Structure 1
Amino acid sequence: MKKLTFFFLTALACSCNNMQTPPKEPVKDTAATAATATPVNYAYTIEHPDYWEIGNPANTATSLSALKAWEDGKLDESLSYFGDSVRVQFDGLDKKMSHDSLTALLTRARNNYKTIKVKMYDWESVISKDKSEEWVTLWYFQTWETPKGVKDSADVINDLQLKNGKIVRLSEYTRKIH
């Protein structure tokens, strides 16, 4: 009986070692699967919903460098990040202009300030799924002082479209802080 028990235990031990565990299934991201599997019912419709992907960080660097040079009063450097033709959109202005015209516009605008200080909140670089458009959005708080000593501030959002590494469109939205 002892021999028989020993034989069964040996057989059981050997069979356990020979058993292969089935390969583990990869862990699925249930949030991502749910997002792609379940269509979202948006309150509004547009031509290309969910059309954007994360963009090139180099575009973010270009946009931030242009803004930093503007803040520091280095207009030539700031303007070097812009293309030959730029569409600018500010409150009361929506115009496509040459680089020379943009230089004149931004020079006049910068001369209205003695100092400018930017506190960056966030940024995002995106590219369209068909790769035809690249944008960077900057969210920041800006304070300034005029040559006459008047101080003010605003929350600012810049949407910058880039093409071939140059800014070709600048849309700015501000909310003055009172």
Structure 2
Amino acid sequence: MKKLFLFFLAGFAFSSCSNQGTESKEATKDSTTATTSTTVTNYPYTIDHPDNWDMGNTANTMIALSALKAFENGNVEESMKYFGDSIHIQFDGLDKTMPADNLKAMFTSWRNGYKSMEVKMDDWESVISKDKKDEWVTLWYRQKWEDAKGNKDSADYINDLKLKDGKIVRLDEYTRKLH
């Protein structure tokens, strides 16, 4: 009789644990769904349009990467095919809008200062605003080069490129020199 009682007690305990686990998983699933669909995140800072971005078009990524690859290979003419007629550029100490011809002259001067250049791409991301008005591609990469005098150096770069109608219309570049 004692053995039969222990057998039933063990069975009851086992079934209670199994049911409780199932209920817990379902409650967790419901809780997770509710959190993602109804919870408003209170960020420590505010901006006009939080969480405003969706995944962008891979064609924009191809445009940004092709422009950079052409520049890396020393083909400024090819690189400029991906830019619009007027481009807003922001680099350290430079913030202006210029016609494509002026940007081409600037890029040609810069690229002629290098004997060789190598880009190792780390990552990229293409995004589009939820209202479909703004499209950006961000590139993260390391660039190594040898200048015309034989000096070698490298830096990490982040390029934010705004695209409109399949052309780059803005280029923001952030640089961290490596030591």
Q: TM-score, normalised by structure 1?
A: 0.82
Question: How far did residue 31 of structure 1 move?
Answer: 5.0
Give the letter for the 1:81 counterpart: Y
Question: How far did residue 29 of structure 1 move?
Answer: 8.9
Question: How far did residue 32 of structure 1 move?
Answer: 6.0
More helix by share: 2
| 5+ residue gaps, structure 1 | 1-27
Q: Counterpart in 1 of 2:66?
A: 65
Question: How far did residue 30 of structure 1 move?
Answer: 6.7
Secondary structure at the residue paired with 2:114?
coil
Give the letter for the 2:98 counterpart: M
Q: Counterpart in 2 of 1:78?
A: 79
Between structure 1 and structure 2, the one with the greater Rg is 1
Q: Distance in 2 between matches of 1:116 and 1:45?
A: 40
Post-superposition Cα deviations, 1:123-168, rounded to whole Å, max 9, x if no partner, equal 0000000000000000001000001100000000000000000000
Q: TM-score, normalised by structure 2?
A: 0.81
Q: Distance in 2 between matches of 1:143 and 1:56?
A: 29
Q: Distance in 2 between matches of 1:57 and 1:29?
A: 34
Give the letter for the 1:45 counterpart: T
Between 1:106-115 and 1:165-174, the stretch displaced more is: 106-115
Secondary structure at the residue paired with 1:43?
coil
Post-superposition Cα deviations, 1:94-141, rounded to whole Å, max 9, x if no partner, equal 010001111111111111111110000000000000000000000001
Secondary structure at the residue paired with 2:36?
helix
Q: Counterpart in 2 of 1:53?
A: 54
Give the letter for the 1:134 counterpart: E
Q: Counterpart in 1 of 2:117?
A: 116
Q: Distance in 2 between matches of 1:104 and 1:29?
A: 59
Q: Counterpart in 2 of 1:126?
A: 127
Q: Does 1:154 align with 2:174?
A: no
Secondary structure at the residue paired with 1:114?
strand
Question: How far did residue 39 of structure 1 move?
Answer: 1.0
Question: How far did residue 42 of structure 1 move?
Answer: 0.2
Q: 4+ residue stretches of structure 1 with deviation over 2 A?
A: 28-36
Secondary structure at the residue paired with 1:39?
coil
Aligned residues: 151
Change (3 A) 1:112 1:63: same
Q: Distance in 2 between matches of 1:94 and 1:143?
A: 24
Change (3 A) 1:45 1:109: same
Give the letter for the 2:113 counterpart: N
Question: How high is the sequence identity, in percent, across the aligned residues?
Answer: 64
Post-superposition Cα deviations, 1:22-60, rounded to whole Å, max 9, x if no partner, equal xxxxxx797565223111110000010000000000000
Q: Counterpart in 2 of 1:172?
A: 173
Q: Distance in 2 between matches of 1:94 and 1:42?
A: 30
Q: Distance in 2 between matches of 1:166 and 1:29?
A: 44
Give the letter for the 2:68 counterpart: L
Q: Counterpart in 1 of 2:6?
A: none
Question: How far did residue 81 of structure 1 move?
Answer: 0.3
Give the letter for the 2:47 counterpart: I
RMSD: 1.4
| 5+ residue gaps, structure 2 | 1-28
